[in-house]
Amino acid sequence: MSILTCENLSFSYEGRTVLHDVNFHVDAGDYLCIVGENGSGKSTLIKGLLGLKAPDSGRIIHSDGLCANMIGYLPQQTEMQRDFPASVREVVLSGCLNAMGRRFRYSAADRERAEMNMERMGIEELADESYQALSGGQQ
């Protein structure tokens, strides 16, 4: 069963269409990788999936309890981020930020979830490595 479905999505900026008639679905356990040339609409699609940009037409359907704020992504690194002193564990743990609400510290459950996600991705051996020292593919 699909947990995310995009039907006939179209997005534009200032009247210029950047994505037209996008259709796909993601099933539980799937990974979605969005690739393309600069300016092809990858970031626009992600903004739509996260609820940060409304589509001009079409629809995004979240099912099985999935909400836009439960979708994580790793944006392309900027010059400023290259010198950001964070470990892989800290970067993965930052995926819990949206769920923290008014808490100012990560909970034990947040830390467990980060460890579990690193295991799921097979990167637990990189947990204490500096994020900036990783290759582009590892990032």
* Side chain identity at residue 78, one-letter code: T
Q: What is the pTM of this model?
A: 0.55
First-residue to last-residue Cα distance in the chain: 30
CA angle 69, 64, 26 (to 5 degrees): 80
Predicted confidence (pLDDT) per residue in 47-85, tens digit:
898 888 999 999 999 887 777 777 777 666 666 666 678
Tell me, what's the pLDDT at 5? 93
CATH code of domain 2-70: 3.40.50.300
| Residue carrying structure tokens 């393309």 | 36
Domain positions in the chain: 2-70, 79-133
Q: Which tokens go with 87? A: 């470990």
Helix and strand element counts for the chain (H, E): 4, 3
| Residue carrying structure tokens 């990189």 | 126
List of the chain residues with pLDDT < 50: none
Tell me, what's the pLDDT at 72? 73
Tell me, what's the pLDDT at 116? 94
Nearest to 44 by CA among 6, 18, 76, 72: 18
